[in-house]
Amino acid sequence: MGKTPPEVDEYIKAHRSDFESELFELLKIPSVSADSRHDSDTARAADWVADQFTRIGFETEQIQTEGHPIVLARSSPIENAPTTMVYGHYDVQPPDPLDEWISPPFEPTVRDGDVYARGATDDKGQMLTHIKSAEAWMNACGSLPVNLIYVIEGEEEVGSENLEKFIVSDPDQLACDCVVISDTSQFGPGQPAITYGLRGIAYYELRLFGPAQDLHSGTFGGAVTNPANALNQILSQLIDTDGKIQVPGFYDEVIPLTTREREGFQALSFSEQRFQDLVGVDATSGESGFSTYERRCARPSFDVNGIWGGYQGEGAKTVLPAKASAKFSFRLVPNQNPKEITKNLEAFLHTLIPPGIRMELVDLHGAPGVVVPLDSPYIEASARAIEHGFGTSPVYIREGGSIPIVTTFASRLGAESLLLGWGQNDDNMHSPNEKFSLADYHRGIRTSACLWAELAHGA
């Protein structure tokens, strides 16, 4: 079996502190893709990533898109070796609410062995493990045992639409045997995981318009439809108290969970109490008939992500607002089609709109859910690499988040994704005080370096 050459392991050991300071450099760049005020920072992060590849002699280019650039890099071709793509993202979520951060989001700070910064785990830290492993091979051995193509994009957090267009426009240039992605989590500390399922997403903004301008709620309230009242009524009809989504046809394509898979979930050491402690609640809720683990990973869900309208300043203002809006999303499971959901949702909303209200529905982005096959030599190679890097074999899990482009890799490139997460569930992805364990960062680098050897020899 392919093992990491000792000089590669030596290089990794000797460069621990360089690898950390480089991660901190990248974490200092506020590459928030959703916020155009950060466009120059996002470009700077792309340059930083591209420079990492040129330094190790990879053929590197930046693909300019209508949005943020895609960094594309290739190792020097070797014949008769498999080709692996590495996918990751250098963009991050907005850091708000800022005042809840213990240390500022773009000033990486180490506390108790974790580095705190926006993007630490999602995805700069995890993504960088696969660049540092390539650096170790190149600088220690002068070559890699596999052909590597890196696709590091800047729009994962906003739906990956430009990457999708790029792949569809010329899939042949990205031909590969499999795709390695580290943008997920371990099952728990010391329990590395291979994720075989991710949920999809369908994300919307709903805008409701009522009277021509804000009105006195005493003079007009009760006679003029209040868009904020209407919004509440409409949103509350999208899901019932059993956690069942009410959009007609929503569950039509959902594949029921098999008894075997549900038994597999039960065999995972998921603790309801630890989960409640993690999020700071004293009870959980969701779709009836399903466990907490199933609800968050393997069943659809509905969440209001933001809601606004009317007076939000200090004290009371008796106003009937002219408009109200919400951002909301459904998490989808494999086989549900986000476009179909949009059609059904729009038709359903029209039946719910009360008189005196005009509606606008904006489809912000959508992506289907995925399940990847586990009976493959690539998965076996990954499991061996994880054993080497983490000292224990992985568990096989599904997760509730989405990585929109994974389906496109399967459908357009015929390549399955290996979702090898180094993060932890309490890493605060998308929340204040995002963090990443530096020990897991180094384990990830060791695993990645070993994976190139395993994929070359064993898969």
- The answer to whether residues 183 and 129 touch, using CB atoms and an 8 Å cutoff, is no
Cβ proximity to ligand BES, 327 vs 365, nearer residue: 365
Cβ proximity to ligand BES, 60 vs 448, nearer residue: 448
Closest CB 156 distance from Zn ion, rounded Å: 7
Binding mask of the shown chain, residues 421 to 450, with x at each position contacting ligand BES by CB under 6 A: --------x---------------------
Q: Which two tokens stand for residue 232?
A: 């509440």
Total Cβ atoms within 10 A of residue 360: 11
Give the separation between CA 396 and CA 196, rounded to whole angstroms.
7
Compute how many residues bind ligand BES; rule: CB under 6 A. Answer: 18
Give the separation between CA 251 and CA 242, rounded to whole angstroms.
14
Give the separation between CA 167 and CA 149, rounded to whole angstroms.
13
Give the separation between CA 275 and CA 287, rounded to whole angstroms.
17
Give whole-number Cα distances, 184 to 246, 320, 333, 447, in Å: 30, 44, 17, 15
Cβ proximity to Zn ion, 158 vs 456, nearer residue: 158
Closest CB 183 distance from Zn ion, rounded Å: 7
Is 155 a binding residue for Zn ion by CB under 5 A? The answer is no
Binding mask of the shown chain, residues 334 to 373, with x at each position contacting ligand BES by CB under 6 A: -------------------------------x-x------
Give the separation between CA 338 and CA 345, rounded to whole angstroms.
10
As a 3-state breakdown, the chain gives helix, strand, coil percent values, each rounded to 5, of 40, 25, 40
Is 41 a binding residue for Zn ion by CB under 5 A? The answer is no
Is 401 a binding residue for ligand BES by CB under 6 A? The answer is yes
Cβ proximity to ligand BES, 185 vs 336, nearer residue: 185
Closest CB 330 distance from ligand BES, rounded Å: 12
The length of the chain is 459
Cβ proximity to Zn ion, 118 vs 443, nearer residue: 118
Closest CB 22 distance from Zn ion, rounded Å: 21
Binding mask of the shown chain, residues 171 to 210, with x at each position contacting ligand BES by CB under 6 A: ------------xxx------------x--x---------
- The answer to whether residues 227 and 357 touch, using CB atoms and an 8 Å cutoff, is yes
Long-range contacts of residues 116-119, Cβ cutoff 8 Å, at least 24 apart: 116/433, 116/434, 116/435, 117/24, 117/27, 117/28, 117/434, 117/435, 118/27, 118/30, 118/32, 118/92, 118/93, 118/434, 119/26, 119/27, 119/31, 119/90, 119/92, 119/434
Rule CB under 5 A: which of 111-130 touch Zn ion? Answer: 122
Cβ proximity to Zn ion, 75 vs 424, nearer residue: 424
**Reduced to 3 states, what is the DSSP secondary structure of residue 243?**
coil
Closest CB 71 distance from ligand BES, rounded Å: 16
Is 123 a binding residue for ligand BES by CB under 6 A? The answer is yes
159 binds, among Zn ion, ligand BES, none (CB under 5 to 8 A by kind): ligand BES
Rule CB under 6 A: which of 267-326 touch ligand BES? Answer: none
- The answer to whether residues 361 and 204 touch, using CB atoms and an 8 Å cutoff, is yes
In this chain, which of 67, 125, 159, 192 binds ligand BES, going by CB under 6 A?
159
Closest CB 153 distance from Zn ion, rounded Å: 12
Give the separation between CA 300 and CA 318, rounded to whole angstroms.
38
397 binds, among Zn ion, ligand BES, none (CB under 5 to 8 A by kind): none
155 binds, among Zn ion, ligand BES, none (CB under 5 to 8 A by kind): none
Closest CB 296 distance from ligand BES, rounded Å: 9
Cβ proximity to ligand BES, 194 vs 198, nearer residue: 198
Give the separation between CA 418 and CA 397, rounded to whole angstroms.
12
Is 402 a binding residue for ligand BES by CB under 6 A? The answer is yes
Cβ proximity to ligand BES, 176 vs 406, nearer residue: 406
Q: Residue 194, exposed/middle/buried by CB under 10 A (0-12, 13-18, 19+)? A: buried
Q: Which two tokens stand for residue 122?
A: 């999602």
Give whole-number Cα distances, 18 to 15, 22, 25, 94, in Å: 5, 6, 11, 27
Is 155 a binding residue for ligand BES by CB under 6 A? The answer is no
Residues with Cβ within 8 Å of residue 269, at least 6 apart in sequence: 187, 188
Cβ proximity to Zn ion, 11 vs 203, nearer residue: 203
Cβ proximity to ligand BES, 29 vs 56, nearer residue: 29
Is 153 a binding residue for Zn ion by CB under 5 A? The answer is no
Q: Which residues in this chain contact ligand BES in the complex, by CB under 6 A?
A: 122-123, 156-157, 159, 183-185, 198, 201, 365, 367, 399, 401-404, 429
Q: Which residues in this chain contact Zn ion in the complex, by CB under 5 A?
A: 122
